[in-house]
Structures are given as C-alpha cells and as structure tokens.
Amino acid sequence: MGDDGYFAGLDIGAVTAKAVIIDTAKDILGSFVKKTGADLEGSATEAFEEALKRAGLSREEIRSITATGFGRKSVPFAQETVTEISCHSRGCYHYFPEEITIVDIGGQDNKIIRLDAEGKRVGFKINRRCAAGTGAFLEEMAYRLDIPLGDLDGIARRSNNAAEIGSYCTVFTATEVLDRIRRGEKIEDIVKGLFVSVVKRVLEMGILSGRVIVTGGVVAFNPIVAELLSLRSGMEVEIAPHPQEMGAFGAALFALERAQEIPLS
C-alpha cells in the first residue's frame, strides 16, 4: 500500500454524503456514508474523517481530494470538483471496461448514462421532475406505512402479486397506498408494487442497452430493484460493487489521476 500516497473522493449528495479513500492500486482502504443534512461542509468533513479513520490514515497522507455531487462546491478542502455523471462513469468503467449502460437510482433523481467501449459518454438522461421513483420516494412511503426503510426489501420478497401503483406523484401515491390498505390489500404486495413503480419510472426514461450496471443507495439496500428491472426490461441487470459509494469512488480515481500529473515535491 501506498508508496506514492493515498487519494480521496467525496460525493456530497442531497440525501447522503459519501467518502472513499483509495491507494495507487485503486483499492478502497476506507469509506463512510452519512446523512447530508443542512450543513454540507460539516457532513463532508465528518464523512472524510470517518473514512480516514477506517483506512487508518491521517489527512496529511492524502495527496489529492476530488469532490462531486450536489454539494461538491461546499468542500473547501478538495483540490478539484467533477460532476457526478463523470464520477459514476469513471467508477463503473473501472470495474466494467466495456460498453455499458449505468442506471443510477439516487436519493433525489435517477440517471441513465451510456458509455462506449473506450469509456466515453455517448448518452445521458436524468429525471428531475419530481422525487417519484427515487430513494426519497421510498423513504416517504416507508414513513407512511410505518415500516423501517431497511425492511422494505425483505417484505417485498414475500409478495407473489405486486399491487399495481398507478400514481406518478409521491403525494398521490401516498393517498393510493392508504386506500389500498383500507381495502385490505397485503402490505407485501403494496411494498413490491412500490418497487415496481420505481422500475417503471426508470424504464420510462429510455431503452436500456448493452451491459446494464445499476448503482445508488436504493439498490445497495434493496437489490430487489435490480431483479425487477431485469425482469421488466428483459435484460440481465448487475449491481455495481459498493453501489452507494460509486460516485465517491469515481471521484477518488480522478483524484489519483490528478495527483499522478503533479510530481511529488
């Protein structure tokens, strides 16, 4: 590990802040994820310090830091900022160096990124109209159902007949869910229907092609989403390694590449 130092990537999203520390071999030595909250700089600092602790390193040993995500401009100790689109692309291509389609299901938006065999971006779409089909949508539904967010995947797997959720808006979906509960429908069918709704929102963004890789906190904790996406699209869908931290990992790779361009003093 690390004769030429270590490198950090921070992905400050609207919902969570992620930090990743890597070495020159591009191996992850430490990572940390926390709620972002209103203090973006404070969240970035805490995530970074915790990742350092897990890696057994000090700040002084980090040669370069790259920030990405919604709050990337709020990380004053980062040497550069890069868009989350580029960071997810860079991170996924590291593991899948071929033509791929990346589906990132985030806390506030969904992205579809297409890369060619050389890792160049050839297509991109983002859904920002509302939180429907995102992590925020599932979090709100879990709250309405009084179910711990981490239990949704297991509950949905008990269903043999997913409820057909017709509403697009999070607010209207909540009303529809309450109506289904009043009608006595099974909770597991409703929860699975919510996951199907997420998948439908993704597929409405565009046709998936090539090797499909899915990232984001939603699939990190709810792998059933990737399974349903595979079933609905008719394609094999793979979950990326450490999917929630993929943006931060890509940022760390940019930090490494930046440092390699600057000779050690």
**pTM score over 0.85:** yes
User: Which segment of 110-124, 132-146, 184-198 scores lowest on mean pLDDT?
Assistant: 132-146
Residue 83, C-beta contacts closer than 8 angstroms, at least 6 positions apart: 68
Say if residue 106 is in the same domain as residue 61: no
Report if residue 91 sits inside a domain: no
Say if residue 43 is in the same domain as residue 169: no
Q: Which pair of tokens denotes residue 93?
A: 């291509």
CATH number of the domain enclosing 256: 3.30.420.40
- Is 180 within 8 Å of 152 (Cβ atoms)? no
For residues 133 and 264, which has the higher predicted lDDT (pLDDT)? 133
Say if residue 251 is in the same domain as residue 235: no
pLDDT confidence tier of residue 201, bands split at 50, 70 and 90: confident
For the stretch 4-29, pLDDT in tens is 789 999 999 988 999 999 999 999 99
Q: What is the pLDDT of residue 123?
A: 92
Report if residue 81 sits inside a domain: yes
Query: Please, what is the Cα angle at 236 between 118 and 111, to 5 degrees?
Result: 60
Q: Give residue 235's domain range.
A: 97-239
Q: Which pair of tokens denotes residue 137?
A: 């949508």
Q: Which of 132, 145, 133 is nearest to 190 (CA)?
A: 145
Say if residue 107 is in the same domain as residue 234: yes
DSSP-derived secondary structure letter, 122: E
Report if residue 210 sits inside a domain: yes
Query: Please, what is the Cα angle at 122 between 111 and 109, to 5 degrees?
Result: 10
Say if residue 231 is in the same domain as residue 111: yes
Query: How big is the chain by its Cα radius of gyration, in Å?
Result: 19
Say if residue 128 is in the same domain as residue 227: yes
Say if residue 51 is in the same domain as residue 151: no
Report if residue 1 sits inside a domain: no
pLDDT confidence tier of residue 137, bands split at 50, 70 and 90: confident
Say if residue 249 is in the same domain as residue 186: no
CA distance 6 to 59: 10
For residues 68 and 264, which has the higher predicted lDDT (pLDDT)? 68
Q: Look up tokens 């071999």; give the residue.
A: 25
For residue 166, pLDDT beyond 90: no
